[in-house]
Chains A and B, each alone.
Chain A
Amino acid sequence: MPVIKSIEELEKIREQAKDMINLRVDNETKTRIVVGMGTCGIAAGARAVMLAILDELKKRNIDNVIVTETGCIGLCQYEPLVDVIQPGKPKVTYVNMTPEKAREVVVKHIINNQVVDEYVVPNV
């Protein structure tokens, strides 16, 4: 961090620094992406999916999204599962995720607010 010479510079640094603590405040109002990380999920490649999501969020500078994990919910054959939960909206569950599909979900669902219908959970 450089020497801060003016109020404007201080404000600029504040904006940048907000990312550092963002995760600790106002978590109720943020969108959550939940990756299934039970044994089944991990075996099906959930780690790579999670890393792809984090990478895509970072690339696009999105900081108001929480990425978290959950255990097995019983749909093991459809793993890796990814839930997108936006405040005030019903939960959307995506199945058989791959890193590529996950990146697509971040772009279409998180940024453009379009549910990616072809990946959502079928009526089982």
Chain B
Amino acid sequence: MEIYRAHVLVCKGTGCTASGSEAVLDAFEKEIEKKGLSKEVKVVQTGCLGLCELGPNVLIYPEGSYYCTVKPEDVPEIVEEHLLKGRIVERLLYKEPDTKERFRSLMDIDFYKKQKRIALRHCGLINPEIIEEYIANDGYAALAKALTQMKPQEVIDEIKKSGLRGRGGGGFPTGNKWQFAANAEGDIKYVVCNADEGDPGAFMDRSVLEGDPHTILEAMEIAGYAIGASEGYIYVRAEYPIAVKRLEIAIEQARNHGLLGENILGTGFNFDIFLRLGSGAFVCGEETALLASVEGRRGEPRPRPPFPANKGLWGKPTIINNVETFANVPEIILKGADWFSSIGSEKSKGTKVFAVGGKINHTGLVEIPMGTPLREVIYDICGGIANNKKFKAVQTGGPSGGCLPASLLDMPIEYDTLVQAGSMMGSGGMIVMDEDNCMVDIAKFFLTFTQEESCGKCPPCRIGTKRMLEILERITNGEGREGDIELLENLANSVKASALCGLGQTAPNPVLSTIRYFRDEYEAHIRDKKCPAGACKALIHYEVVPEKCKSCGVCAKVCPAGAISGERKQPYKIDTDKCIKCNSCFDRCPFDAIVKI
């Protein structure tokens, strides 16, 4: 085997691929070849490094230098300076947003220092398309340990003892789920991986699949051994082409090397895994709808019980776990339940991955121990609110979660505390909002999503979400009536209590939580016909402040509707009938002479 003196890791996750990492990877290969360094320097494609906002990301070892926003034009300089002469290219290194300090090594950066990576342990470290790199990092060692040193019941006991809970939303104890399926009668059982990540803005499952696909295969095999199954299905969205491709490669490699199939590692254990592609219906993330879709039927939920552990895929006992849940399993088997349960808080063990987005400085993927306060994630790891604006709320749990106000920033992130506060862990989306976000508008946004995605099977969800949305539209259009808030609360509680599946039961959360914490904004919309954040177009109009206007004419030039006119030395005027409220003049006025009222 060749010994390389340097490894150049180029992120090929979806985020960095979208910002052009393919071209950067090519440029590195060409430039290294040109300089005759091919035998000394190895170029490796990896999964997501987490700081997607600054992509394409490049990491160079042994120094661990972290270069951000690398363009193909920068590559010759990096090769010449760093790889040939050993001089780190300072100008491209990551820099801390407040101090502007640059760091020479990845692990010195605040964004990484406070994270604890278990589910993401291989993302950005190994090449996901090369099975040897996974094996070198203790890959398939947990499977070997389970098959040779543990009885199936011991595997289940270990998972139970670890305190691992489902990472897909519900937070059900994983070990118990496995126990039910193991106890269920039946000679044929199935293991299903839920990779139908549907929450807008959530991409942790995608990142695990893209950066470390073999972990999921290994975990599913361990689960299969524990409950006595010999077949597994991964239900993944067709909208994740890179994840699908890497899973296909991983399954192929595992089969070729005897890590999937018959008589695995000479132990007599048989297991194989198949892919099923979903077409992007949000409801198919619900377990019974997902199973229906795998079977080739319409993706609609059914009442439970019977639970899938007793009657799942094709009526057989089935365990269905989310990608991130599975990603924790090999580490628990290898390092032990005590190690895992020592991380996190009293009732929520281990870590959780969050996809942080919205009005935040570092959009990206972070994995933190359970129990970390929200403030630490938003300010210390993700660098605080963008553009020096004021924090208003954070939405956890995607469209099924709720909005939490500034007063709850010091709350530890745990399954139960989030539910008490009217939100939920969900799959781990975290959207940060600032003072420019109107909370009524946000509730409307999420409800629009769930209303569109409602499968229509049960009336509370189909009709209830529609009626709620109509009321929210009325309020944001300035036509809200007295009693609307109470009506919304009433409807929301009914839908929550009577909907068939998790989609309907959680859809009212954004509405209820915004009413609970931001009732004054609803009242301002209804009584004063005002939107305090200036976001609801029907409730605002633009005016020129005559004392501040210097008659420069910039506003008139940018106005696409021709609604602004004026003469030299006279303040300009906005014709509100023509104005389409596009905000262009407000953004561009150099003297802050335009106001939203």
Residues of A whose CB lies within 8 Å of any CB of B are 1-7, 10, 13-14, 16-21, 23-24, 27, 30, 32, 34-35, 37-38, 42, 50-51, 54, 57-58, 63, 66-71
Contacts and interface: CB of A to CB of B under 8 A. Distances in A.
B9 to A, nearest CB: 8
A69 B84 contact: yes
Interface stretch (B255-263, B492-500, B520-528): B255-263
Given A10-B144, A13-B132, A51-B40, A4 B265 contact: yes
A18 B135 CA distance: 8
A38 B9 CA distance: 24
Contacts of A18: 136
B21 to A, nearest CB: 18
Of A17, A18, A58, A63, chain B has the most CB atoms within 10 Å of the CB of: A17
B33 interface: no
Contact of A27 (B5, B62, B133, B148): B62
Most buried by A among B63, B131, B132, B141: B132
B133 A21 contact: yes
**In the complex, the 9 A-B pairs of residues with the closest C-beta atoms, listed nearest first:** A69-B86, A17-B136, A67-B5, A17-B132, A3-B258, A6-B266, A70-B86, A66-B62, A58-B3
Interface of chain B, helix or strand or loop or mixed?
A: loop
A10 B140 contact: yes
Contact of B61 (A4, A7, A10, A23): A23
A121 to B, nearest CB: 19
Contacts of B256: 3
15 contacts: A3-B256, A5-B266, A7-B148, A13-B132, A16-B132, A21-B136, A23-B4, A35-B86, A37-B84, A42-B84, A51-B40, A68-B5, A68-B6, A69-B83, A70-B87
B258 A4 contact: yes
B514 to A, nearest CB: 45
Interface of B: 1-7, 9, 39-40, 61-64, 83-87, 125-126, 130-133, 135-141, 144, 148, 256-259, 265-266
A1 B3 contact: no
Given A21-B125, A24-B125, A37-B86, A68 B62 contact: yes
In the complex, which of the residues A19, A21, A67 has the most CB atoms of chain B within 10 Å of its own CB atom?
A21
Contacts of B139: 14
A71 B136 CA distance: 33
Nearest to A65: B3
A24 B61 contact: yes
Contacts of A16: 1, 132
A60 to B, nearest CB: 10
A20 to B, nearest CB: 6
B7 A68 contact: no
B211 to A, nearest CB: 14
Contact of A1 (B1, B131, B138): B131
A2 to B, nearest CB: 7
Nearest to A19: B1
B62 A23 contact: yes
Given A5-B258, A14-B141, A50 B132 contact: no
A23 B7 contact: yes
Contacts of B257: 1-4
A5 B265 contact: yes
B3 A19 contact: yes
Given A4-B258, A66-B5, A70-B87, 11 more contacts: A3-B257, A4-B259, A16-B132, A23-B61, A24-B61, A34-B86, A57-B3, A66-B62, A67-B5, A71-B86, A71-B87
A7 B297 CA distance: 41
Contact of A21 (B131, B137, B266): B137
B144 A54 contact: no
Contacts of B135: 10, 13-14, 17
